[in-house]
Structure 1
Amino acid sequence: MASARSDFGALLHAWRDRLAPADAGFPVTGGRRAPGLRREELAQLAGLSVDYVLRLEQGRARNPSAQVVGALARALQLSRTERDELYRAAGLLPPRDGTIGTHVPPGIQRLTARLGDVPIGVFGADWTLLWWNGMWSGLHGDPALVPVGERNLARAVFGTGAARASMRPFRSDRGHGAFAASIVADLRDAVSRYPADAGLDRLVRELRDTSAAFAQLWTTATASQHTSDRKTVRHPELGDITLDCDVLVVPGADLRMVTYTAAGGSEDAGKLDLLRVTNGRAAGTLP
């Protein structure tokens, strides 16, 4: 058992040393004693405390949860094979096929981190937020402040908890009703493709039980899936920012990259520039 914990810590340390700070969205500065991520940077990316990451690396923290291991795997930009190795080193079974994936390929993470001028969030098939860059936090608020289980767009639209409370006011050119219906349509499609996913089943059952609007849309609506839109987000400091919102599908991973852009030279582009200067920080991922 001690050997397994030691292997887990050794893998964390080795893969942390391997990951270039620029690929994780951190500025490259002088004074680094090692080429990889600092321990506090990994902790920030994974949404964990620095002390907990230290104890994991030293083998003093036992039995990390599947959520913690998944967050570390995404933060370290591991391949699927490496991710599975990390799960096994923690004494856990890797995620099963046939369930909604939470693995964000390293290339997508690097792309998200390096496109620092554009707010980008990466979502799973159930609209759970898996990865985001600093501009996303600046535009929508920091997802790390929202409890892990609440970081889901359907919960933000139809729920009554922290996700709903954290969502900044916005308007959709398609209309709020069409936007809400498209989220339900996406979940209905996900259920048809992942019938054995227990988390998705819980999400749908909970929203059907607690939201009359969701329940009605689930049983009666015929809606198109959520795609491109034009949205106006009410920012607490900068006021209304009107942006083109595009949803890009990641082939082979069943992920959605949501991006927000503005036409160059526009007032809204100027607000995005100001947002980058005042709110930019490293990318993040949920535990």
Structure 2
Amino acid sequence: MGALTGIGVSTLSRLEAGQRHPRSTCWSRSPPSTGLPWKNCSRWWSTRGSHRSCTRRNGAVALTRNASPTTPAGSRRTGSFCPRTLRPTTLVETAMGHQTLALLAQLEAACKACDELASATEELFLQHPDAEIITSFPGLAALTGARLLAEIGDDRTRFDTARDLKAYAGSAPVTRESGKSRRVSHRRIKNSRLAATGRHWAFAALTASIGAHDHYNRRRETGDRYYAALRNLFNRMLGQLHHCLTTRQKFNEAIAFAPPNPSPLTAAA
């Protein structure tokens, strides 16, 4: 540390004597003959302050190098590099505490309102004539079924065919052909709320229905990605929902996901 301190003192002495710092392009003070006033030379202040801070930091590192935290040198190192953090005043802490309590009260009120709204929605949905049919599908509970019913409505003449409902929900793909090129992509113009509900429905159906899970696995084996396979499953189950609501019958797992019948050529082979 003595060597470092000596170097720092000699450099600082040159600055005090009016000599130029090796890394500086201006005089620390005005030269004897000509030069700018020292108050116009702002670099002198920055050079002097940075030099002092570097000298102190290098001295502390040299003093506490390879020192154990349990030794006095280690204690000084901890005190040098771990200064005490600033703490607000008592009035500021009290004000921040009141603000936090107010935010927690707002959050508690919002959670309570959500619970009351969910209870009221479930109670009113179960009174609807279509609730029994909708909740018979795997993956559809009271809240999800209520949201689905709110989007498609209870007017059965609104969608003449299941294809119209699938296009409205965005589950039906779009085919574009031009000459010899043919491109099939997902539909972008759709009811976003119904499409989001459909993704939740299809995801919940994977663990509630063996047929839905097998259908999803078949789509993944053919090369579909995760969302594409979920969208295909939602497309199929939405058609089944349209059929059940039109014919007033509940969901039947054996009929909805019946294994495909083999072709005559396959059976003959």
Shorter-chain TM-score above 0.5: no
Q: Shorter-chain TM-score: which interval?
A: under 0.3
Higher RCO, 1 or 2 (CA under 8 Å, sep at least 6)?
A: 1
TM-score (norm 2): 0.23
In terms of fraction of residues, the more helix-rich structure is 2
Structure richer in strand, relative to its length = 1
TM-score by length of 1: 0.22
Return the index of the structure with the highest Cα Rg.
Answer: 2
